[in-house]
Chain A
Amino acid sequence: DTGVSQNPRHKITKRGQNVTFRCDPISEHNRLYWYRQTLGQGPEFLTYFQNEAQLEKSRLLSDRFSAERPKGSFSTLEIQRTEQGDSAMYLCASSPIQTEAFFGQGTRLTVV
């Protein structure tokens, strides 16, 4: 399957722990995005890469959040010292040009 792949699909962690999520975009797509979605809300933009360069970060992305895209291929999103408010679905998307985004299945994070 050549779609966007996210791992893990589900993550339960204790408050204060660090978590890392991985996204493998569609191979020919140079743009990669991270979004966060809570129940009943639309996806909220977190950050965006073009190749390996992180071009924008939302104000939602606190200092506890960091994202990387080494070599312009897969990306990781790390949350340090997790809080209960971080519980959400984290969505990754990729696109070849500035049009439609192809989303992965998401990683559902539960902080207990």
Chain B
Amino acid sequence: SQKIEQNSEALNIQEGKTATLTCNYTNYSPAYLQWYRQDPGRGPVFLLLIRENEKEKRKERLKVTFDTTLKQSLFHITASQPADSATYLCALRVYGGSQGNLIFGKGTKLSVKP
């Protein structure tokens, strides 16, 4: 069956450390993968997109890697801050899938302690 899994429901880290979130998928052929941030009671906010032929993308303190052999994406937040506390969602757009259909994982709730 097709699955997209974010390995940790919750991740607690100390301020200043690097947070690493994992997204694994099975039985999909993704065209690209996206990461979103979601705060409680609000809609998701787009952060980064990485295509299947890209290994790594960076934006300020954020870094995303994409390994289509391992079927895995890693999302890193360096020098984490309490303001980074939120739920982070990964989402796939797949080949042969609907143009409208982004498939989301359940999310990882990140808590950054001061």
Contact = CB atoms under 8 A, between A and B. Distances in A.
Contact of B42 (A55, A56, A99, A106): A106
Given A91-B43, A93-B43, A103-B43, A44 B104 contact: yes
Contact of A43 (B44, B45, B49, B93): B44
Contacts of B41: 105-106, 108
Contact of B100 (A42, A45, A104): A45
Nearest to A41: B106
A55 B43 contact: no
A4 B49 CA distance: 20
Q: How large is the interface on B (under 10, 10 to 19, 20 to 34, 35 or more residues)?
A: 20 to 34
B100 A31 contact: yes
Interface in B1-27: 9
A48 B43 contact: no
Interface in A43-61: 43-45, 47-50, 55-56, 58
A45 B106 CA distance: 13
Interface of B: 9, 32, 34, 36, 41-46, 49, 89, 91, 93, 98-107
Interface of A: 4, 31, 33, 35, 40-45, 47-50, 55-56, 58, 91, 93, 98-106, 108
